[in-house]
Amino acid sequence: MSFVWTEFLATGNEKMDAQRRKLIEEMNYFFTAITEEKAEKEVERMFTFLDGFVTGMFFVEESMLRSGNYPEFARHKAQHDFFRKSYANMRNEYELRGVTDTLISDLHKKIFVWLLNHITKEDMQWVSFIKNKESK
């Protein structure tokens, strides 16, 4: 399973788009590692990447939506907060127990699949709102 960046996913914000391209690249890398049964040694690398992504990208996005008066801001931020919590729990699990099959499965399903769904569905709603606003 491999994901491809398309312009359909572009937000119009260069920094954000670069981060999204990188996210897709990292997902592909991790999914390949899972199928080759090498995921265990890639977990630290994934957490390092995700730490930056979760703090960086969500922050940039939320600032932009707040200043753009996005009407669904509260609902959208609640989704980010849900993810932040789930990610923090997973990171704690990793600190406590190290790499386990459950952790690898959770990284796959609760992190990467969640993020992929989020950027392709939820984020696309604010992208179209902002683009509409800018074109007026």
Residues that bind Fe ion (CB under 5 A): 123
Nearer to Fe ion, 80 or 94 (CB): 80
Minimum Å distance from CB 98 to Fe ion?
30
Which residue type does 42 have?
E
Nearer to Fe ion, 88 or 105 (CB): 88
Nearer to Fe ion, 35 or 69 (CB): 69
Minimum Å distance from CB 118 to Fe ion?
6
Minimum Å distance from CB 122 to Fe ion?
6
Q: 3-state DSSP call for residue 109?
A: helix
Alpha-carbon gap, residue 23 to 134, rounded angstroms: 26
Minimum Å distance from CB 44 to Fe ion?
25
Nearer to Fe ion, 42 or 123 (CB): 123
Alpha-carbon gap, residue 117 to 13, rounded angstroms: 19
Of all residues in the shown chain, the one whose CB is closest to Fe ion is: 123
Which segments of the chain does DSSP mark as H helices, in order?
Answer: 14-35, 39-67, 73-97, 101-106, 114-117, 123-135
Alpha-carbon gap, residue 46 to 111, rounded angstroms: 10
